[in-house]
Structure 1
């Protein structure tokens, strides 16, 4: 009997154990299913800090150490593996120690970290009743991006507040000043640090000062407004005590439980002066607080809600009873997009997990909430379907942000579609973010050819290359890479592109702040046709000028041939090469013949140079010119004539005068003409001074004499060919009247300028300025070889 009783007890204990095991397995299965449908990464540790279970999403977050996350592993082993394999970016030993400390003493506050793949997660640790810990990782990348956008918007708004012309003052419901922008400082004379934290009535004269607090209190109690939401003219008081009229508009803003009043003030003492600079600024503050509360739900085999966690009341304002007993199909009428419901139905009929199903919930106050659901099918140990389990989250802030972005994108597209130019906008990663209608028309692109936000700069160029936009010959990829490299190397470019259909486009490339590129396309086909017509007319005119130049060259050649004989033979006779000239009186005649021949040759050369200059055919052979040496050489050539006339030559040059990129022969001609005129028109005992300096406007050369000078009427006349000022010295010396006009033409050919300043009987100063781009650095042994290479081209 004792054995029978013992056997009966053992049989009963085994039955109880099997029942408890089945129940534990069922609970374990339900826990695993619930964790698999949760949109967070979840890991459960027991009281000995050993991993009990972790869902797939937790392993996805910790992908580099996924093989380490196994039941039974110590929490410290997992943390050490995360640290060694860089799961968290920029994690140091101090951060790792902090994780261990947070795990030992869990805090609901948690922390946020950036993972190896660029995602951000919030990490929260919760104690369990059995002494263990629950570690939850939530993807907060979207919220971080929205926070970044919010911070940028706030910085933008602060920038506006500090640049608007109107003063902006914000106060709380106790009339304490919260902010005071730069314009308000200028209007009232107070610095922001002098007023922030003090009562706003310090900016008002009596009796407004004493009445303001009572008015604010009365408005809070009754809602009666005298300024708020209306605006009016009031009196203000500056720091120096001066009372002045101002225009005040006050707006009340409720942000959570905080009431803020925003006052916009405008000094209207001199209304006409401020009207031209008036900038109205509207301040908008948005509450981007995003609820992070998720809740759990369960459906039975008939797809009716059997369980909803209590957190639903905090977000949607309804209790769990609102959903209990309702069919999941009731959400069809609330589905954001009817097409999404069809997809959802197919997933549920197939008993497959789902994620991202969104329905709309209208709250009792009329507000709309967007709810995103995720769930997994539940099966009993025999594989029989008995419902769904999952989570739901409020994504209203994210949906509103998406709607705002869509609105801004549509507005941006509408703006650029109405532009007369074609516009293509690429972001910092060279993705196409905007392409207007005009660009599609100019490049023959349809909506199906290039889709915005699905193409790149390289893709667009490759498509155009395939269409033969860059010619049919050569390798397409080579053409694309070459153009792509040019745009990357120098994004600020303007060039012309001839299309196969005969159109000519002007393409302007501009870099965007913060990265990116804007390409604009302008149809300049008609302009190019006009340019071609003008070019043909110009060519015809140039042909006429060349005919004139040819005629002058031929005439000069015909004149020079007899002149060379006259000059050559007279020079032989002058130097008595073949014996003395008899009688000796003929020597003076030979000198006259030689001098007249040289004078006539100089006249012919000047006429030919002048005709070339007028036709714009002056040929320049640029090379580095040592201006200091050239000026000194020119002065030496004029020393004999100057000493004959009793004129003193002076120079004022710096120790190291820069080189000039110019035609050395023409520069010498310019200097000799100016020095010859200065010596010619300076009386005995006078001076001629040459100075040269490098200034911001370029190289400046002054040739100043103390001669007879000219009147203002003569200054305008002497720049005309064959015209001389009618002075007593102009009659003493011969001249063609071509010196100054030819000199000016040569200066202009170098891109410079020539000006005259003169006072009768006091002297004349000629100023020649060569542009900065022709000024070179000082010559040195190091750059001598480069100069020689530059001369050879």
Structure 2
């Protein structure tokens, strides 16, 4: 190899030491259009791979190597290597510009001037050695050509199957014929199925094929456009067939004529109704065979029928005619539409006959029903008016309405709602009219005051709008109901309620006054004579005082029960802290419990529960339960009171360790005048109305009271009240007032208990 390299005349060489380039000839740099700074110290193997598409291991002086010069033109060369003291010199020689050879020059010109994307490839490994600009544009090549030329087809186009291409090329070599395929299918990523016109031609020189020419053209748009056109033509044909079927089978009679008035199309129902094409050939034949009449019963003239008018360019709509068809009267609505050509001249007329006989007969039937309905309305004892909308002019009044408004000569002139309102002297008639004009749905006017026959009457008025098929308000129906008797009865009831209230006030005063006077006298007697009266006198004064309080308790309870029964138990709600109120009640009655040797415990899981209630009635309820607990609990036992919130309710529990209630008596415990008749309670006085009143008051507060008991174990009462608030600026905290009233109520409620 050394002797042969000495005989080679070439200035193209490159030297490397330890696989790094240390020198390159200026001629080689110029040939490859490289810069020395980019080459020196770079890898020698990479240099040959990039520029000659061969690795060092593959270099052999017996074969040629493809490379591209600075003009991106393909050239062929040979490479030989000499090694001296570890330094390797590679000499490039026998350089041939492939495009300068006669056969390749022709291919070069053909490829450059071709109007389709075209490339020249090596036959051995399908490497691109030249391509025209159209090819690079089609491949969307962004890199410099020197990085593209020399690459294999499947490296340029990743979705090309290299194995399939080799099989195709082998088949071309076997047959010796070019390969041409129109609309060749290729699946392209992100584009789907594409279509190409593909031409592969082998180039034979000296009986061998060293190069191939591949010419491609993307015809995807053309193929898809052709497919769309085929589909559109198929769709148009199918739609045309459907249209023909629709026209033929439609329920309306359809006639199509040309500009001369000759019929070109009659559908099935037209032929069956008026005759076939032989008897009906031109405009006017229909009316000649079957006379037609307008809505006034006049015979239609052939010169003025809808089809003739349409031939003159008029668009004729909804002309109603009647026809005697074999002894049967038929009604039709005729529409005739002219079709104009590009010169605005009538080219065709489409005429449609719609059979409305059933509709006409239905309308006649509805008119009869309407008349029948109006007869019924006219006979009703309720005044009923029909008004137009929005003008509010009277369309019709029934007899009762005429009698109400006392309007003379109604049938001889048009009157409005204003005329009626003036006649009956309706108060605030302007606001009433405004309300009527804004009627979009049923409206109710209650207790309208009307002057009829110089008498004041009261009526409830119902206003019902009537809408047409398009939802437009066309009429108003006014129904007037006399509620004068009801109003007068309500007045009497209110007077009775007022009298009842005054009665309660009178009774309360008459019952309470003597007792109050007696209590006041006892209080004065105790205060002035406490030092002069002996113990016996003071004892009897105390008994008289206790009896007065018991009597006052009984009077209060009886009055409250009577109020509750008559629905006159008033509730005055305010926002209070029920925890604080309940604690104050419990602490205030501890003296009565301790006097009997009973302990009372109060507990709550909340520090504050604000709710709206009548605190005076709540006091009465809890005091009643506590007085019973103290009354029926033996000494050395306990009474428990606790408050908690459950399911949006405030629950107050009063539980004792007393004698309990027999199970058979539990269901009657809240009934009036009910007492437990057994040996355990025979020594306790009572009227049997306390728990009944507690239940009535709890119900008035919107709550409920329940009981659970076991004999010789104890009894538990639970009061459930709704947890809600009313709009107040602050919670009522007048404790002094509460304590003062509470002490009066405690003295009355606990008056039947003996204290030490």
Which range, TM-score by smaller chain?
0.3 to 0.5
The answer to which structure has the higher strand fraction is 2
Could you tell me the TM-score, scaled by structure 1's length?
0.44
Could you tell me the TM-score, scaled by structure 2's length?
0.46
Larger Rg: 2
